[in-house]
Structure 1
Amino acid sequence: MIGVLLVSHSQLAHGMKTAVEFVAGEQKNFFSLGLEEAGVATYRAELEKLAASLPKEITQMIIVCDIPAGSPGTNAYDVLAQTDLEIEMLSGMNLAMLLDMVLMREGKEFYQLIEDGVKAGKASIDRMDFSEEDDDDNF
């Protein structure tokens, strides 16, 4: 079973989890944790507690972080790398990426799920042009 852990600075990961579950309903093996003002030591302790309490059915974990090489992601990877889980980490979380990965977990292999999630996330990033000149062309 594939688990998904969202990590971020402050409350972003929790908000993204809430948004995913607003759209897709409550999700099993889907977690969030934010690095708060209490600091990295407290955050690591929370990560260790989470790692120790993960269901045994989870054998693979995708960590999705807010920015590359940030403390939330690097610490999450460090803590989970000490478990028996197969781990991959992605950065630049967005709702399209998360919905794709969370909703398709049961139907895809681990690395295909990651690849498709990254594609969905990148495809959702675009400049929205609402200029009046193009109105007739867009509809």
Structure 2
Amino acid sequence: MKYVILVSHGKFAEGLANALSMLVGKREDIIAVGLEDGKSVDEFTELFTKTVDKITTDDEVVLLGDLIGGSPLTNAINVLNGKGVKMIIIGGMNLPVALTSVMMKDTFALEDLAQQVLQEAHGALREFKIEAADDDDDI
């Protein structure tokens, strides 16, 4: 199975997983773990390890983190590497990145998926401008 795993500081990963479930339904292939305020990195790593216990070397992972170099992403990488899991890693996750990962993960080979996700995410990030209404409008 291909999993999308979300890791973050605080409850961001869980909130993002909740938003995803509103769009794609509740799914077993989406996992979210956050480093909660007041918890140690060791506690996060222990929780993450238990949460991904079912993932084996036969599985593939799209690992999304809030910050490249942050403790949640770094420790998640270490745990999954220790299990010998094949994965791609993307930092700076947001809803378009997560949604694209979920929707495209079974369409593309893992090696090609990162480029597709980053391409879609780049297109989704843009400034929204509100046009000034003309004085003649009856609105």
AA in 2 matched with 1:35: L
> What CA RMSD, in Å, does the superposition of the two structures yield over aligned residues?
1.8
Question: Normalization by structure 1: what TM-score?
Answer: 0.87
Q: Deviations over 1:29-49 (max 9, x none)?
A: 110000012111110101111
Instruction: Tell me the residue number matched to 2:46.
Output: 45
Gapped regions of structure 1 (runs ≥ 5): 135-139
SS of the aligned residue for 2:130 comes to coil
Deviation at 1:84, TM superposition (A): 2.3
Which whole-Å CA distance do the structure 2 matches of 1:82 and 1:57 have between them? Answer: 10
Shift of 1:131: 3.4
- Alignment gaps of 5+ in structure 2: 135-139
Kindly indicate whether the alpha-carbon contact (under 8 Å) linking 2:62 and 2:89 is maintained by their aligned counterparts in 1: yes
- Matched letter for residue 48 of structure 1: T
Partner of 2:76: 76
Give the Å deviation of 1:51. 2.7
Specify the structure having the higher radius of gyration (Cα): 2
- What is the one-letter code of the residue matched to 2:104? M
TM-score normalised according to structure 2 size: 0.87
2:120 aligned partner: 120
The 3 A distance-change label for structure 1 pair 84 and 57 is closer
Equivalent pair of 1:8/1:65 in contact (CA under 8 Å):
yes
SS in 2 for 1:78: helix
For these two proteins, the number of residue pairs brought into alignment is: 133
Q: Detail structure 1 runs of 4+ shifted over 3 Å in the superposition.
A: none
How far, CA to CA, are the matches of 1:87 and 1:115 in structure 2? 14
What is the CA–CA distance in structure 2 between the aligned matches of 1:58 and 1:28, rounded to whole Å? Answer: 16
- Greater per-residue helix proportion: 1
